[in-house]
Amino acid sequence: MIMLSRELAGASAKPIILSLLASGESYGYAILQRIENLSQGELSWDDSTLYPVLHRLENEGLLASSWRVAETGRRRKYYRLTAKGQEVLETEKRQWLRVDAVLAQLWGLEPRLA
Amino acid sequence: MPTAFDLEKAVAAWRRPYEHNRAFSEEDLEELEGSLRDRVDVLVEAGLPEETAFQEALRRMGSYGTAEAEYRKVYWGKRRRRGEVLHELYWRAAMWKNHLKIALRQLKRRPLYTAINVLGLAVGMACCLLILLYMQDELSFDRFHEKADRLFVVPNEHPVEGRALSTSYSLASVLESLPDVEQTTRFWPDRERPVMRKEVQRRANQHILLAEPSFFDMFSFPAVTGDPAAVLNTPDGAVISESLARMFFGEENPIRKTLEFEHFGDNIYSVTVGAVVKDVPRNSSIRFDLVAPLSLLGDESYLSRPGFFFATTCVQTKTAIAVETLNRKIAETQPEKAAVDGWFASSALPLPALYLSGLTADGLKGQPKFLYLFGSIALVVLLISVVNYVNLVTVQATQRAREVGVRKALGAGRSQLARQFLGESILLSITALGVSLMLTGLALPAFSRLFDKELAFWGAEYGFVLPLMAGFVLAVAVMAGAYPAFMLSRFQPAAVLRGAGVRTTPARRLGLRQSLVVFQFTVSVTLIIVTAIIYHQLGYLQNKDLGFNGEQVVVVDLPRSVSASVRESLKQRVLSHPGVVGASLANGIPGRFQMGYGRPVDEAAPQNRTDAERVRFRPAVVDYDFIPTLRIPVLAGRSFSPDFPADVSRAYILNRAAAERLGWSPEEAVGQTFKLGPAETPEGEIIGVVEDFHIASLHQEIEPVVLQLHTLSPVGSLPFKLVARLVPEQIRNAVGHIEQQYSQVTPDASFQYTFLDEVFDAMYRAEERLSRIFTSFAVLAILIACLGLFGLAAYAAETRTKEIGIRKVLGATISNLVLLLSRDFLKLVAIAFFLAAPLAYVAMSRWLEDFAYRIELGPGPFVLTGALVLAIALLTVGYQAIKAAHADPVKSLRYE
C-alpha cells in the first residue's frame, strides 16, 4: 500500500472526484468504493476526508447535490457534475497530463497518453 | 457476560459528539450516518458479526478529530453558498451573550470568591495605574517645547566638584562658533525673590529669571500680549506670567506699568512690563513668574568676569542631531577656549533629559531612582495580583470539576468549555478594570500630593498609560482564563463524576503555588520591615537634639531696604512685648546659613598655620543676643558682650567642630588668634566656643561654624533675619505684636515668618514622603499576600476534606485539626521571613549610610514584623482551617 504524501493526496482528490462524477452522479460511499477498486486498495480514503472535499467542490459550484431515497429506505445525497465542473475537469486533465509528460521524459518512460 | 451489541445504541453513541458540534449540520450528519450504515451492511453481508462490522466501519470512517477539522474548513463556504452568513453571525453573537449570561450567573453564585478575585486584581491594577501615571509625568518634563528635539543644555564640570548647571557667561559664545549650533541662550535660573508694586503696596515672593532675547526664541512659552523676545531686548523690559499679572494688577492692563524686585547683591531693580505669557506648565524645568533682561545686572565685561558662574547655557542645533555628535564637537573646543578656574564645559544633554539628570535645583529635581524603584514595584505588585487571580480562579475551577464533568458527559466540546471559562475571566477582568479605575480616581489626589504633582488620566501629551492598561487587561483576562480552561477541559468526565476529583499535589510539597505565596510574603515582610525602619529614622531626625531649642523660636524675614538703625529699633520694640523673651538679628538661622549671595565659604588662617593649611569655615553674622536667644550652650570662654567693645571688630566664636578642625579642645581654643577672610583682614581672637548646632539637615555632618558680630561682615551678609524666642502660652499674641511692629517700621513690605522647628521638618519632606509611600506599599503587599494565602488555604481545605473527615471520625479535636491545617502554611510564612530579613537589613543599612546622623539597626523592627506577619497569616489561614474542621465528616466521606 503506497502512502501518498499529503500534498499529493490532497491535490489528486479533485481530479479523481470530478472524473468519477463525469461518468454519472454518485453518492459518497459509492465513490469511496470505486476509488478503492480502481486503485486496487492502494488509495483508500476516510469518509471524514472525502465528504468535506465533496462539500467544498459543491461550494465552488463544480458539483450539485440532491437527496434521493435509496433502495435501503434511507436518504442518500447524490452529487453530479455541473457545467462549470466539466470545464474545470478539462483544465485539470490537461495540467496533469502535461506534468506526466515531463516526468515521463525525465524518467525515460513512455508517456501514458498523448 | 457482556451485554448484547445494540447497533442503534452504538450509532447513537457515535453521533453524539458530532451533534454538539456546529460544524456538522443535520444534513451532514445524515450523510455520514448513511455512509456508516452502508459500510456496516456490506461487512455484515460479507459474514462479519455485527459488532465487529461496526468497529471496522468506524475505523474506516476516520477519526472525529480529522472530521471536525476538515468540516470546519468548508463550513463558511457552505454558509455563504446558502446565503446564511448573517444568520451565522447572529447565532455567534447570541452564543457569546449566552456565555456571558452564564458567566455572570456563575460569578453571582459565589459572591465572596468573586469579590475577592475582583478586588485583588483591581487593587493590583490600581497600584500599577498610579505608578504608571507617575512615571508618565516624570518622563514628560520639558517635552512641550516646539524645538525640544534640537535643544541641549551644556553644564559645567570640575574634576573634583563634579557637574553643575551654572556655567560662565562666555561659554555660550564659544559654543556658538560650532557649525551645528544655530543659536545659544543663557539665563539665570529662577530665584524666589520679593517683587513689589509700590503704587498698591503689594509685595510677594515670585520666581525671577534673568534671560536674553533668544530665550523666548528657543523655548516655547506662548505669549498672551506683547512680544516677549522684543521686550527682553530693551534695557529694562520685563515679561510676566498671567498669574503674576493677576496678582499684581488684577484686571488692569499690566503693559507699561512698573514693578520692582530684589536680586543679586541685595539690589533692587525696576522694570517695565512689556509682555505677558501664559503660566509656565507644571512639567517644565525652566520656571518663572517674571523674566527680566540679563543686562540689568551689568554689562558684558561684568557678566563675563572669571569665576562668576551663574548661567544656564542652552544651545539650539540646526537639525535634530544625536547628543553624542554634539558632545564630540564640544569636546573639540576644550580645553583652551572654555576652561575657567578648573571648570570646563561638560557633555551636553538634551533638554528633555534635564529633569531626571539630577543637575537641577532641589525643588525641581526628577528622581530617576524613584522611577526605577516604582517601575519595579508596579511590576511586582501586578505580577502578584495576577498570580493570585489565576490561583483563586483555579481553586474555584477545581471546585467546579463536577460541573465540568457533567457538561463533558453531555457532550460539551473542549473549545466550548474553554470559551466558557474565557468568558468568565474576561468579565471578571473588565469588572476589575472598572473597579481599579474607580480606586485610582479616588486615590489620585492624595497620591499626587505625595509627589507635589498634579496627576490626571487625560490631557497628557506623552500618554502611554491608558492604552497600555487596556491591552494589559485583555492579556490578563486571556491568560487567566486560559489556564483553568486548559486544565479543566482535560479532565476525564467519568473520573470526575465518580468523585476522584482533580489530581492534587499534597500540601507539603513546595509546588508552584506554595512558592508564589512565599514570594508574596517575602515581599510583604521586606516592605514592612523597611517601613518600620524608615519610620524610626524619621522620628529620630525629627526629635534629635539639634543643639538649640527651636520650638518657640520664630524667624521673620526683613526686607533689604531696611537700614541698620531701623532693624535695631524693630528688635527693641519686639522685645517690649511680655511674650517675647529674647530677640536677635542674624544673617541666617540654623538650617539656612547658606542663604546669601556672597561666597558662602571663606578661608581662615589662624596664627600658626601656613597658607597650605587654610581651613574652610561657614561664617555666620549675628548679634549679641543670638547665642542666648537660641540657648546654644557655651562650652568655653564667653559669648559676645557689649562690655567688651573690642568684640565688635576682633571677636570670633567657634563651634565645637570648628575648634576640633583646628586641633584644639574648646578650652584650648579660647584666646587663640584667628582671622576669617582675605589677607588684609585684621587679626582677631577666639573668645568662646559653643556647642555644635545643626545648620543644615541631618543628612550632613556638622560643619565648622564661625560666629562674628554684624559690623565685621562684608556686604551681602547683612543680618536680615529677626529671631525671637516666645513664651509658649503667648505665641499668638507675640506674633501679632511682632507683625504690628513690623508693619509700622516697614510699611510696604509683607510680613512673613516661620517657626524654626518647621524649617527643619521641611528638610525631611523626602524622608516623610518615602515613609508614607512605603507604608502604603507595605499595606498593599500584605493585603495581596493574604489574598493569596486565603486562596491557597481554601484550596488545601477543599482537597483535604476526606482526610479531615477521617481524622474527625478517628477522634481529632477541632484544635488538633486547625493546627494541622495551619502548620504547613505557617511554615511558608516562616520561610518568607527568613528570606526577607537579610534583604531588608542590607537595603536599610545602605539607605541609612546616607545620613550623617542615624539610628542603629537593632533586632526590634525585625522581631515585631515577624510577630505581626505571623498573626495576620494565622488569622487568614485560621478562618479556612476552622471552617474545614467543622465540616460534617458524614458529608465529606459520602462519596466513597
In a domain, B593, yes or no: yes
Residue B7: band (very low, low, confident or very high) from pLDDT cuts 50, 70, 90: confident
Q: Is B158 helix (H, G, I), strand (E, B) or coil?
A: strand
Question: Are the CB atoms for B707 and B584 separated by under 8 Å?
Answer: no
Q: Which residues of A45-57 are buried (b: 16+ CB within 10 A; e: fewer)?
A: bbbbbbbbbbbbb
Contacts of B299 (CB under 8 A, 6+ apart): none
Q: Are residues B480 and B442 in the same domain?
A: yes
Which residue of chain A has the CA closest to B41? A72
Quote the CA–CA distance of A64 and A60 in Å, as a whole number.
Answer: 10
Q: Are residues B575 and B715 in the same domain?
A: yes
Percent of chain B with pLDDT over 70: 77
Is the CB of B34 less than 8 angstroms away from the CB of A29? yes
- How buried is B211 (Cβ within 10 angstroms: 0-12 exposed, 13-18 middle, 19+ buried)? buried
Residue B625 has pLDDT above 70, yes or no: yes
In a domain, B99, yes or no: no
Q: Are residues B687 and B736 in the same domain?
A: yes
Residue A64 has pLDDT above 90, yes or no: yes
Taking all residues of chain B, what is their mean pLDDT, rounded to a whole number?
A: 77
Q: Give B588 or B581, the one with higher predicted confidence.
A: B581
Decide if A93 touches B, using CB distance below 8 A. no
In chain B, which residues have their Cβ closer than 8 Å to the Cβ of A52?
67, 70-71, 73-74
Ordered by where they begin, the domains of chain A are 6-82 (1.10.10.10)
Decide if B84 touches A, using CB distance below 8 A. no
Residue B502: band (very low, low, confident or very high) from pLDDT cuts 50, 70, 90: very low
Q: Give B521 or B3, the one with higher predicted confidence.
A: B521
Read off the DSSP letter of residue B481.
Answer: H
Question: Are the CB atoms for B35 and A50 separated by under 8 Å?
Answer: no
Q: Are residues B359 and B412 in the same domain?
A: no
Q: Are residues B331 and B378 in the same domain?
A: no
In a domain, B555, yes or no: no
Question: Are the CB atoms for B330 and B154 separated by under 8 Å?
Answer: yes
Residue B630 has pLDDT above 50, yes or no: yes
Residue B560: band (very low, low, confident or very high) from pLDDT cuts 50, 70, 90: low
Question: Are the CB atoms for B839 and B865 separated by under 8 Å?
Answer: no
Quote the CA–CA distance of B723 and B570 in Å, as a whole number.
Answer: 12
Q: What global pTM score does this model have? A: 0.63
In chain A, which residues have their Cβ closer than 8 Å to the Cβ of B41?
72
pLDDT tens digit string along B297-326? 888 888 877 667 778 888 888 888 888 888
Q: Are residues B572 and B719 in the same domain?
A: yes
pLDDT tens digit string along B434-444? 888 888 888 88
Is the CB of B70 less than 8 angstroms away from the CB of A52? yes
Of A28, A49, A77, the CB nearest to B70: A49
CA within 13 Å, CB half, B631: 14
Q: Which residues of B7-39 are buried (b: 16+ CB within 10 A; e: fewer)?
A: eeebeeebbeebeebebbeeebebbbbbbbbbb
**CA distance between the termini of chain A:** 28
* Torsion, CA A37, CA A40, CA A41, CA A46, rounded to 10: -40
pLDDT tens digit string along B838-871? 988 998 888 888 777 777 888 888 888 888 888 8
Grid cell 558680630 in the structure block, residue = B709
Q: Are residues B312 and B382 in the same domain?
A: no
**Mean pLDDT to the nearest integer, A45-62:** 89
Q: Are residues B655 and B684 in the same domain?
A: yes
CA distances (Å), B804 to each of B397, B650, B809, in order? 21, 90, 9
C-alpha cell at B322: 544625536
* Torsion, CA B31, CA B37, CA B42, CA B48, rounded to 10: 150
State the total domains in chain B.
4
Q: Which domain holds residue B447?
A: 369-502+511-540+765-892
Quote the CA–CA distance of A47 and B88 in Å, as a whole number.
Answer: 26
Q: Give A65 or B22, the one with higher predicted confidence.
A: A65
Question: Are the CB atoms for B759 and B591 separated by under 8 Å?
Answer: yes
Q: Are residues B374 and B461 in the same domain?
A: yes
In a domain, B877, yes or no: yes
B39 to chain A nearest CA, in Å? 8
Is the CB of A52 less than 8 angstroms away from the CB of B39? no
The pLDDT of residue B634 is 86
Question: Are the CB atoms for B30 and A76 separated by under 8 Å?
Answer: no
Residue B598 has pLDDT above 50, yes or no: no
Residue B240: band (very low, low, confident or very high) from pLDDT cuts 50, 70, 90: very high
Quote the CA–CA distance of B31 and A74 in Å, as a whole number.
Answer: 10
Of B32, B61, B74, the CB nearest to A59: B74
Is the CB of A47 less than 8 angstroms away from the CB of B35? yes
**Mean pLDDT to the nearest integer, B431-454:** 82
Residue B409: band (very low, low, confident or very high) from pLDDT cuts 50, 70, 90: low
Find which of B28, B31, B85 to mutate to test the A interface (most A CBs within 10 Å of its CB). B31
pLDDT tens digit string along B567-579? 888 888 888 888 8
In a domain, B550, yes or no: no
Is the CB of B28 less than 8 angstroms away from the CB of A47? no
Residue B9 has pLDDT above 60, yes or no: yes
Residue B155: band (very low, low, confident or very high) from pLDDT cuts 50, 70, 90: confident
The pLDDT of residue A89 is 94
Residue A41: band (very low, low, confident or very high) from pLDDT cuts 50, 70, 90: confident
Question: Are the CB atoms for B34 and A75 separated by under 8 Å?
Answer: yes
Q: Are residues B640 and B582 in the same domain?
A: yes
Quote the CA–CA distance of B664 and B823 in Å, as a whole number.
Answer: 64
**Mean pLDDT to the nearest integer, B492-511:** 48
Q: Are residues B452 and B476 in the same domain?
A: yes
Q: Give B165 or A77, the one with higher predicted confidence.
A: A77
β-pair partners for B637: B688
**Mean pLDDT to the nearest integer, B541-547:** 68
pLDDT tens digit string along B696-722? 656 666 777 778 775 544 444 566 778
In a domain, B270, yes or no: yes
